[in-house]
Amino acid sequence: MGNNSKGTLIIVESPAKARTIEKYLGSGYVVEASMGHLVDLPKSRLAIDVDKGFQPEYITIRGKAKILKGLQKAAGKSSAVLLASDNDREGEAISYHLKNAILRVKPDVPIKRIIFNEITPQVIREAVDRPREIDEAKVEAQKARRILDRLVGYHLSPILWKKVKNGLSAGRVQSVALRLICEREQEIESFVPEEYWSLEVELRKGRAAFRAALVEYGGKKCELRSQADCDRIIAGLHGREFRVCDVKETTKTLRPRPPYTTSKLQQEAANRFGFTSRKTMQIAQQLYEGVDIGSGRVGLITYMRTDSTRVSAVALQEVREFLAGHYPEELPEKVNVYASGSRAQDAHEAIRPTYVANTPADIKSSLSADQFKLYSLVWERFVSSQMTPGRSSTTTVEIGAGDALFRSSSTSVIERGYQKVLRVLAPKNVQKSLPKLETGELLEALRFHPEQHFTSGPARYTDATIIKTLEEKGIGRPSTYAPIISVLLDRYYVVRRNRQLAATQLGRIINNLLTENFSELVNENFTAEMEKRLDDIEGGNESWVNVVQEFYRDFKPQVDHVMETLESIKGVLDEPTDLVCERCGRPMVKKLGRYGFFIACTGFPECRNTKPVPLADCPREGCDGKIVARRAAKGRGREFYGCTNYPECDFVTYDKPTGSTCPRCGRFLVAKEDRQRGSYKACINPECDYLHTHEAEDKSA
């Protein structure tokens, strides 16, 4: 801890933020970091007195006592203390507990709270000059959320331990997200791809060739179900003239999009760069807290947890001055204003650069590759949001031939407008050009292009789409989207497969238990309403005790009923096998662990022998091995499936065996998924062309 010599002590959450702010304020100020929460509920017990108004029992977090004592000591040497944790519920609670802890040992030290939305010299100095009291309502909202989550976790977890498996846990908001992921998985599994075809004709005018798609036949919308349908139409058009029957030109205004909220930034980073929501928030935190860009450390973006598109008047003036100097023709007469969502708390501005003059190109050398990507998104989205719209022109041509009507279109940009500033966010212009055509013109038909497709089933959630869904349903808040996903992954209720979130067998079991016995708790409307009530507490319109009391009044009897009546499925999932443990001679069983199913010795804990579950017989001729799931060294990398006789047999596939065998050749079937067919099963034998669908299943039964 620094020597204050009766200066002012400022306490922030992270060392990076502390370094940035200390440089701005200079002498007379010492900035220290609390490293997040120092006081919380103990992990070892409920620590909530349900009979005395649900009063929580807070303690110093294990391992944080040294930090807290250091801050108390530094406060004693200071003339004043300013608490500068993040401007949200968690940050307010951190400041509240810090204030109480300091006053216990130094009751005469003046303590105030300061808040800011960006870490820049001017904003930090203004915050220091305008300290305020701690927002008690915000602290109470955090207290209510923490107590609700503790009550749920400490009452549901014992049910899972007793009825399912030791070591499991369940959370209030995460369980709703798990339900959404499990329901999507069920939709995917029940989906049966249907075949359909499209038909295009390649036409030529002079030297220019282009394609047109069949849209109508015999005056009706055309639905092609097979190649025979295509062949019939092609035969009917043999020798027919292809003539232009209509040419239309339409213009479209391309409006800029608002600056980012937390969820929109996470979605964009996931879609553009494949960033997980956790990674996006980690990088955003770095940009917010400060990066050395040569002229010193500077916070590059505003606070990254927000649901608002609002922008300060100072920032709007700055970006308009920037545009006047660099893009004068794209500067609108008035400021562009964007409406925030109906559920937005509007506590913070949108995410924007602190200084528009710090263009991505100018500071690229000071940023890591990932920091540059994310900063570019924020900078481009903000600057473009205050520029004029673009305009595009679309030409649509309809061509008649016999009973068929074909259509083709091309789009070109008339005015780029806000798109002039976009680099990372630049739209991919896959433009199809058409020759100049007029009504009545005759065209030469070169060839037909029939193409087979399959209807696509629902896609698994990704970080981007689950966050979008949670936001639309009012579940969670900007600060919780990333932790919700992280908790489900950490508990192995969900795994990532090719950037998609898939429920594990364990996750499905937990979801089934919760939906069947605690349907209200995992109901998305109930959870959204609870979020609204927490907002009401923060707004001073609701009592935290009432909210917790009403919840617990219905929840506790249900917990007791389920604990008493629910049949245990502990061990029910264990399946006997014909395998014998080679170490001790006891029989082995198939068990469910946190990583999925595995084979274990019944002599546990004396014998700890385990094996992966055989998924299929090895397809190699003459090999008697089994196919099991494997990972690269130290469990990293993509899961693959290989033979137990390795290295004698080196058979490997990345496609997961399904447990079904091919009715044509007897080899095993694997799960496949693509955009054309959706989810389906196919034979592992490369010489067998068996495509497994429900229709084929019925015929082979």
336: domain CATH number is: 1.10.290.10
Residue 196: inside a domain, yes or no? Answer: no
Q: Give SS3 for 454.
A: strand
Q: CB–CB of 431/244 below 8 Å?
A: no
Alpha-carbon span 133 to 385, nearest angstrom: 35
Average pLDDT over residues 575-592: 89
Alpha-carbon span 328 to 136, nearest angstrom: 47
Helix/strand/coil (H, E, C) string of 515-535? HHHCCCCCCHHHHHHHHHHHH
Alpha-carbon span 500 to 270, nearest angstrom: 11
Place of tokens 């649901």: 307
Q: What is the pLDDT at residue 330?
A: 97
Residues 443 and 469 in one domain: no
Active-site pick, 303, 418, 461, 641 = 303
Structure tokens at 185: 């998985």
Residues 27 and 114 in one domain: yes
For residue 238, is pLDDT > 70? yes
Question: Judging by beta carbons within 10 Å of its beta carbon (0-12, 13-18, 19+), is residue 503 exposed, middle or buried?
Answer: buried
Strands (DSSP E) contained in 455-555 are 461-462, 494-497, 500-503
Residue 586: inside a domain, yes or no? Answer: no
Structure tokens at 355: 């200084």
Least confident of 173-177, 593-597, 623-627: 593-597
Residue 652: inside a domain, yes or no? Answer: no
Residues 315 and 381 in one domain: yes
Q: 246: part of which helix (H) or strand (E)?
A: strand 242-254
- Local structure of residue 224 (DSSP, 8 states): B
Residue 225: inside a domain, yes or no? Answer: yes
For residue 693, is pLDDT > 60? no
Residue 426: inside a domain, yes or no? Answer: yes
Residues 380 and 273 in one domain: yes
Q: CB–CB of 179/514 below 8 Å?
A: yes
Query: What does the pLDDT look like over 60-77, one tens digit per residue?
Result: 999 999 999 999 999 999
Q: CB–CB of 494/461 below 8 Å?
A: no
For residue 547, is pLDDT > 90? yes
Confidence of residue 632 (pLDDT cuts 50, 70, 90): low
What is the phi/psi pair of residue 403, to 5°?
-90, 5
Beta strand 80-83 with 8-12: parallel, antiparallel or unpaired? parallel
Average pLDDT over residues 4-17: 86
Q: 433: part of which helix (H) or strand (E)?
A: none
Confidence of residue 147 (pLDDT cuts 50, 70, 90): very high
Q: What is the pLDDT at residue 555?
A: 96
Q: What is the pLDDT at residue 214?
A: 98
Domain ranges, residue 231: 205-255+391-454
Confidence of residue 128 (pLDDT cuts 50, 70, 90): very high
Q: What is the pLDDT at residue 695?
A: 40
Quick one: what percent of the chain has pLDDT higher than 90?
74
Identity of residue 497: R
Query: What does the pLDDT look like over 247-281, one tens digit per residue?
Result: 999 999 999 999 999 999 999 999 999 999 999 99
Q: Give SS3 for 681.
A: strand
Helix/strand/coil (H, E, C) string of 596-610? EEEEEECCCCCCCCE
Confidence of residue 84 (pLDDT cuts 50, 70, 90): very high
Quick one: what percent of the chain has pLDDT higher than 70?
94
For residue 122, is pLDDT > 70? yes
The CATH number linked to 67 is: 3.40.50.140
Of 365, 177, 374, whose CA–CA distance to 279 is shortest? 374
Residue 309: inside a domain, yes or no? Answer: yes
684: left (phi over 0), alpha (psi -120 to 50) or beta: alpha
Residue 412: inside a domain, yes or no? Answer: yes
Q: What is the pLDDT at residue 431?
A: 67
Residues 419 and 406 in one domain: yes
Residues paired with residue 451 on neighbouring β-strands, in sequence order: 198
Average pLDDT over residues 217-228: 93
Residues 216 and 280 in one domain: no
Residues paired with residue 199 on neighbouring β-strands, in sequence order: 450
The total number of structural domains that make up the chain: 4
Query: What does the pLDDT look like over 274-324, one tens digit per residue?
Result: 999 999 999 999 999 999 998 888 999 999 999 999 999 999 999 999 999
HSE-CB at 568 with a 13 A cutoff on CA atoms is 10
For residue 1, is pLDDT > 50? no
Confidence of residue 491 (pLDDT cuts 50, 70, 90): confident
Structure tokens at 652: 């490997």
Q: What is the pLDDT at residue 697?
A: 40
pTM of the model: 0.83
Alpha-carbon span 264 to 463, nearest angstrom: 11
Residues 429 and 466 in one domain: no
The CATH number linked to 166 is: 1.10.460.10
From 532, 565, 598, the end of a domain falls on 565
Average pLDDT over residues 92-119: 96
Q: What is the pLDDT at residue 347?
A: 65
Residue 682: inside a domain, yes or no? Answer: no
Contacts of 47 (CB under 8 A, 6+ apart): 41, 56, 57, 58, 59, 150
Q: CB–CB of 577/599 below 8 Å?
A: yes
Query: For the packed helices 262-273 and 463-472, what is the interaxial angle rounded to 10 degrees?
Result: 160
Residues 280 and 338 in one domain: yes
From 90, 116, 134, the end of a domain falls on 134
Alpha-carbon span 555 to 548, nearest angstrom: 10
For residue 341, is pLDDT > 80? no
Most confident of 303-317, 429-443, 631-645: 303-317
Q: What is the chain's mean pLDDT, rounded?
A: 91
Q: What is the pLDDT at residue 661?
A: 85
Residues 440 and 465 in one domain: no
Q: What is the pLDDT at residue 699?
A: 37
Residues 362 and 299 in one domain: yes
Q: What is the pLDDT at residue 469?
A: 95
Residues 561 and 539 in one domain: yes
Q: Give SS3 for 660.
A: strand
Active site residue 338: no
Query: For the packed helices 313-326 and 369-385, what is the interaxial angle rounded to 10 degrees?
Result: 90
Confidence of residue 622 (pLDDT cuts 50, 70, 90): confident
Residues 168 and 129 in one domain: no
